[in-house]
Every structure is written in C-alpha cells, then in structure tokens.
Amino acid sequence: MLDPRPPQISLSPLDEERFGIRTARAPDVRAETVPAILTFCRENRVVLAIGRCSVARPDAAQEMERSGFLLMDTLVYYLRNIREAPAAAGVQGILVRPFRPGEEEAVVRVATVAFRDYPSHYQADGRLDTRKSNEIYPSWALRTCTSHEPADRVLVAESEGVVAGFASIHRSCAEEASVELFAVDPAWHGRGVARSLLGQTVEWCGSEGVSRVLYSTQITNRPAQKLLVRLGFEPSRASYTFHKWFDGA
C-alpha cells in the first residue's frame, strides 16, 4: 500500500496517455513540499514530474533545481477588473458569438495553426516528442467544445463566414473567470480579431456577474501582453514551470 499522496501532487492520466509515460503534476510547489513530491513520484514510478511554483517563492524554485528539476517556462497572469471600466468595443466586420455544435473542426483548425511550435513547457523539453506536443492544444480545444472541460463557454470570432479565432472561458469561482484557451488564426492577425474576441470575452463574463477575468500567457508572448494592457488588464502574478525526469523509474 502506497502512502497517501502529499499535498498538491497527483498523477496526470492525460499526459500519460499523450506521451506514453507516467506523469505527475504539482501545480503549487513550495520548498518544504519538494521532498514529499519526490517520494510520491518514486513510489508511484513516475517518469516525468511537472512542477509549478510562484516566482514570489525563489526558495521553492531553488529547491526544485537542487533536486534535479529544470526550468521550462515562465507564465505571467493578467487580471481585468470588469467593474472598473466597460469592455472594449469590437471591430466592424467581426462577429463574436457562442460556439455552435458542428464547428468543432473549425476550432481545432484554428488551434492547430495558432499553436504550432508554441513555446510551452512541453515544447521546451527536448525529451518530449515535438509532434505530440503540437497535438496538445488542438486536443484541448476539441475537449472544450465537446465535453466543456474545462470551459463554461466557448466564443468564436467569425469574419467573412470563417471562424478566425476562439476563446474558452471557465468560471473558477463566483467572482472570477479565466480564459483557459485563446487563439487566432495567424492569417487573421492584425485585423482586430483578437481585440474583438477578448473584448467580448470580458463582456460575456460581466453579463454572468463575474467581476474579474484572468488571462495567462508565456512571458515571451509580447503581442498578447500588449493587447491585454490596452484592454485594461494588469499584471497580477507569475509562475515558473519545471520538469524532472526520473530515469530510474
């Protein structure tokens, strides 16, 4: 019988199915929990551990580094207080509306081209199959449309009869919603699709009584961060993502 799992660590069946290796995730690592996380991984024959910690906890990052974890990416989180200002107006010619059943293929297509070779923590790990890493976001997009996991609403941006972008929104609590997945077809960049889509995302959240909207992106994604600031989002926090491989598992 294995010991009860330590706080904030669990196996990730989705990652195991995707990459064919036993994977565990620890979404909120603290320095004092690293030994318990390592014990859990060894007892459960984990091959890859994915740990995330706040940049405000350098002791946690340093403890993971001492334990063989490697830094893979840095996420920045932006927060928009809806009650402080109205949502931005949309761009003429771009219709933002709820996703309709039957549009799954269009949404997956957008995710495929928008996230090809996207610099996520998966892509940053040279030991993971790049092709399989590229499949993550299209698969995620499809799940948000079909099983609503984790999305309470999917909006699409349509222009000239084509789905040019989409946003998956999850209401995490009564006061806050998060943009779980957001993508615009590169062919439509610079035409106001992202602005309209994000503005209407904020509008929908406000209509649901949510007061805050959270959006996360890679620290290297400057275009997204510029747009977020223009639409009233402010930097809120940031986190590091680490990977550790257990070669003897």
Q: Could you tell me the two tokens for 151?
A: 């999305």
Assign 126 to helix, strand or coil. coil
Whole-number pLDDT of residue 150: 73
Spatial distance between the Cα atoms of 225 and 228, rounded to a whole number of angstroms: 5
* Distances 124 to 53, 54, 134, 141, 231 between C-alpha atoms, Å: 17, 19, 12, 21, 30
Using alpha carbons, select from 169, 176, 121 the residue that is nearest to residue 144: 169
Q: pLDDT below 50 — which residues of the chain?
A: 1-5, 249
Query: pLDDT digits over 23-49, tens only?
Result: 999 999 999 999 999 999 999 999 999
Whole-number pLDDT of residue 2: 45
pTM of the model: 0.90
End-to-end CA distance of the chain: 18
Whole-number pLDDT of residue 90: 65
Whole-number pLDDT of residue 84: 75
Segment (H or E) for 89: none
Whole-number pLDDT of residue 87: 66
Q: Are 191 and 222 in contact (CB under 8 A)?
A: no
Residue burial 56-73, b: 16+ Cβ < 10 Å; e: rest: ebeebbebbeeeebeebb
Topology annotation, domain 80-237: Aminopeptidase (3.40.630)
Whole-number pLDDT of residue 1: 39
Whole-number pLDDT of residue 88: 67
Whole-number pLDDT of residue 159: 92
Q: Are strands 162-171 and 234-245 parallel, antiparallel or unpaired?
A: unpaired
CATH 3.40.630.30: which residues of the chain? 80-237
Q: State the Rg of the chain over Cα.
A: 19
